Every structure is written in C-alpha cells, then in structure tokens.
Amino acid sequence: MIPFRDLGLVAPLFAGLTLFATSVQAIGPQQMAQNTPAPTAPLVQGQTPPAPPAPVEQPSTPVEPPRESLTLFTAFDSQRMAQVFQEFSDNQKINVRIESDEADLILGRLLREGATSSADVIMVPTLSRLERATTAGLLQAMPIPELEKAIPAAYRDAQNRWFGIAMSARAVAFWNDRLKPGEVNSLRDLGKASLKGKVCLPPFDRLSNRTFIASLLQGAEAPAIEGMLKAIVSNAAPLPEDLPRTSIDGDDRVLLVAMTKGVCDAALIGSRSLARLADKGDDAIKAALDKVTIVWPQIEGRGTPIDVIGVGTTASSNKKEAVAKLLAYLASDSGQRKMAEALWAYPIKAGVPLSNPVTRWGPVKADPTPFATLQPLLPAAGQLGEQLSVR
C-alpha cells in the first residue's frame, strides 16, 4: 500500500497514463497500423540483403566547349559589322571580335605591330589600300574555293591575298527642276559650257577616287581623259565653308546638301552616300533624294567604273581554318546580302538580290576590267587627282 504522504507524487503518474490511453484510443487501430513501419521479412540463410535504392541522377546542363575567336580590323561601323557576323558565329561557333578605325590607321597599325598583331582579317575600302597592304606584305595568300567560285576574278587578287566582297560606284546626279531631261546623260556632259559654276565635285585627290580615275585612263589616251576631267573641274562650284563636312573618305553627303541649297545643279556622288541617305529615316536631307535623277556613267560601252571593299588574311594570323570559314561565309548568298546592307553597297556576287537602299537607284553594269590591269595605273591616277582636286 502506498503511504498517504506519497499520493501527491503518484497522482501525476496516473494522469500521464490516462492521457496516453486516451491518445491511443483517439488515433485508432487503422492509423496506428499506418504509422507503424511494415515488418521486414526475415532473411533466409545465405540470402544477400537487398541493395539500397540508387540515387536519382539530376539532368546536367551541357557545357559548351570554349569557342575559337577571330579578330577583324575594319574601317566600317563595328555595330553594323556585328550584325553581319552574328549568323556566322551562331552557326560556326566562332566569335568575331571587331575593332574599328580609319582605313589608313589600320594599315599603319598592322605595319607597326608586324607578326605580333592580333588581327586575323582586315576589311578596308578601295583598290588603292588593298594594293598598299599587299605591297607592304601585310596580307598572306589564302586560296578559298568558295571565294574563287563566287567572286569574279576581275575583283580579287591573283595570288588570293585579298578578295572584293562588295562594290560601289560614282553616279552623275542632277536636280530635276534645274536641268532639262537629257541635258546630262554622261560623265562628259558635266564638262558642258552651260554648266559653268553649277557642278559639285568630290576631292579628286582622295583614295576613294583613285580607282575611278584609273578606270577612265585604262584603254584611253591619257591627254583625252585629262582634258575631259579638266573641263568638268572648270565647271566646279565652290562649296561654302559653312556646309557640314566629314573627314570620312568617300562621304559625299555635303554634295547633296549643296544641291539643296542651290549651290550647284549637278554632282558626282558615290553610291554608298546615296544609299546611306536613303536608308536613314532621320536624316533631314533624305527628302532631297526625291528631287534628283541618277545616271550611271559608262566608259566606252564597258560599263560603270567601280571600286571594291575588300577583305584579306593578315600575315600574322595562324588561324587559317577559322579564317577560311569566315571568308567563305562572306561569299555566300546570305553573307553577301548582309554585308551589302551593312555597307550600303552592291553585292559583288552575281545573282544576290539588292538591298532596299540600293534598289532605289537600280542595278549597276560594272566595268569588267580586271583590277590587275588598273593597279599599274594607280600612280598616274593619283598624280592626276592631285592636279584636279577641288577643295
């Protein structure tokens, strides 16, 4: 018997037992069975215990191998160039790093850096600069079947050191309300006495005009060409000092501005300037394009003198396989279309549709004279350009 004095200690014990019994009754037999782990079947003698369940493998994110990278030195806007090479980078998994600068500074940099240059490819305008690059040993030969097939032999180096990838031309433009239809149909017409003081001209001493002059000299008597150009220059209208100018070689926007202000009635304007103005919706001078007529000058029935934008592999590059893929892409239909649009130029590969800004002025029947024939004439063209230059 529990002493009376100890009942105070035992009472809580009985209360706890009562609470446990009440809890078991509330749970019920079924819930107790659910909460009780199933008994493990006894192992038969010699039986191997079951292996624990294998861990569930989580899907891993595939890791892309490091991409190869090429460096392009270009004389053109890096953002517009990036749009051209995005498709190539996505398909070939080769990154193209673009460095943009003036064309002559690019050639000077390559000359200074020599074999240590980071450039793999250069892209510069005009035959004159491509000729300078090859003469200085800045480019290496890269025979690429895709380019040899797509690019006419007339517009690429015979030793495969450079390839033309786009082309431009000079157009005769005249103001519709000031000149009669048929009054200006050719380059020679700009030298008519009736146009005295009414012709706006680019500086003939710039490299952007040297191929143009060499094309005129080819197959003709130099004195006759010199006489025609002097007659044109004698009709030149001085450009007012307050007109906006640019140091960019080949930018002729100022000539169209002069026409809108009545400074001149006709001009010799580059096709890239015309296409650029047609493409830029925010340029105030764009509306003036509706008031001019464009004539592509022909040379003795051969066609219109053209110049090229060319690419070449630097002598310092050791990434020939990747460079070959890049240049092959530029010769493809897609690469030609994107490049022409980005440069406001004409595709050099036959059959590639023209971009909208260029379509406005129609196709150009390019002079097929091989550039190898024009190269020896570049020095004489440069001298004549210096004599004729209009500031």
Going 229 to 231 to 232 to 238, the CA torsion angle's sign is positive
Contact 172, 295 (CB under 8 A): yes
- Which has the minimum average pLDDT: 60-64, 150-154, 208-212, 268-272? 60-64
Within-domain flag for 49: no
Could you give the CA distance from residue 307 to residue 212 in angstroms, rounded to a whole number?
7
Verify that 247 and 293 share a domain, yes or no. yes
How far apart are alpha carbons 195 and 193 in whole angstroms? Answer: 5
Bridge partners of 335? none
Q: Please indicate, yes or no, whether residues 178 and 281 belong to a single structural domain of this protein.
A: yes
Instruction: Kindly report which listed range (56-70, 139-153, 227-241) carries the lowest average pLDDT score.
Output: 56-70
Predicted confidence (pLDDT) at residue 275 exceeds the cutoff of 60: yes
pLDDT for the residue 1? 42
Query: Is 195 found in the same domain as 116?
Result: no
Q: Quick one: 323 exposed, middle or buried, by C-beta within 10 A (0-12, 13-18, 19+)?
A: buried
Task: Give the confidence band of 8 by pLDDT, cuts at 50, 70, 90.
Answer: very low
| Whether residues 300 and 186 fall in one domain | yes
Least confident of 18-22, 154-158, 235-239: 18-22
pLDDT at 26: 41
In a domain, 227, yes or no: yes
Which of 9-18, 179-188, 262-271 ranks highest by mean pLDDT? 262-271
Asked whether residue 240 is domain-assigned, the answer is: yes
Query: How would residue 251 be classed by pLDDT, with cut points 50, 70 and 90?
Result: confident
User: Mean pLDDT over residues 151-171, rounded?
Assistant: 96
pLDDT at 125: 96
Report residue 12 as tokens: 């809580």
- Decide if 175 contacts 299 (C-beta within 8 A): no
For 33-86, the pLDDT digits (tens) are: 444 455 555 555 556 666 677 677 676 777 777 889 999 999 999 999 999 999
Q: What is the pLDDT of residue 245?
A: 66
Is residue 177 domain-shared with residue 206, that is, in the same domain? yes
Non-local (6+) Cβ contacts of 225 within 8 A are 213, 216, 217, 384
- Indicate whether 265 and 348 sit together in one domain: no
Co-location of 267 and 331 in the same domain: no
Question: Are 191 and 89 within one domain?
Answer: no
pLDDT of residue 247: 62
Q: What are the tens digits of pLDDT across the range 322-373?
A: 999 999 999 999 999 999 999 999 999 999 988 778 888 888 999 999 999 9
Per-residue pLDDT, 104: 95
Lowest mean pLDDT among 244-248, 258-262, 326-330, 385-389: 244-248
Q: Note the pLDDT tens digit of each residue in 175-223.
A: 999 998 889 999 999 999 999 999 999 999 999 899 999 999 998 777 8
Pairwise pLDDT comparison (249 vs 148), residue with the higher score: 148
18 inside domain? no
Q: For the chain, how big is the Rg over CA atoms in Å?
A: 38
Tell whether 197 and 109 lie within a shared domain: no
Examine residue 89 and state whether it is found in any structural domain, yes or no: yes
CATH number at residue 144: 3.40.190.10
The number of folded domains in the chain is 2
- Is 135 a domain residue? yes
List the one residue out of 160, 212, 149 whose CA is nearest residue 348: 149
DSSP character for 46?
T
d(CA 261, CA 241): 13
Torsion angles phi and psi, residue 3, rounded to 5: -60, 150
Answer yes or no: do 161 and 177 share one domain: no
Tell me, yes or no, whether 14 lies in a domain: no
The pTM assigned to this predicted structure is: 0.81
Q: Which of 30-34, 96-100, 332-336 is predicted least confidently?
A: 30-34
* Max CA separation in the chain (angstroms): 146
Q: In the predicted model, is pLDDT for residue 129 greater than 50?
A: yes
Angle, alpha carbons 367-254-105 (nearest 5°) = 70
Average pLDDT, the chain: 86
For a pLDDT cut of 90, what percent of the chain falls above it?
A: 67
- Give the Cα separation of 82 and 127 in Å (integer): 24
- 190 and 152 housed in the same domain: no
234 contacts: CB under 8 Å, gap ≥ 6: 191, 196
CA pair distance 278, 189, nearest whole angstrom? 26
DSSP letters, 293-352, are EEE---STTS-B-EEEEEEEEETT---HHHHHHHHHHHHSHHHHHHHHHHHT-EESSTTP
Kindly state the DSSP code that residue 194 receives in the 8-state scheme.
Answer: G
- Full domain range(s) for residue 266: 168-304+381-388
pLDDT one-digit tens code per residue, 278-289: 887 778 888 999
Three-state secondary structure of 90-158: HHHCEEEEEEECCHHHHHHHHHHHHHHCCCCEEEEECHHHHHHHHHCCCEECCCCHHHHHHCCHHHECC
**Per-residue model confidence (pLDDT) at position 357:** 82
Confidence bin at 108 (pLDDT 50/70/90)? very high
Q: Is residue 255 part of a domain?
A: yes
Q: Are residues 216 and 177 in the same domain?
A: yes
**Whole-number pLDDT of residue 359:** 82
Answer whether residue 16 shows pLDDT above 60: no
Per-residue pLDDT at 271: 94
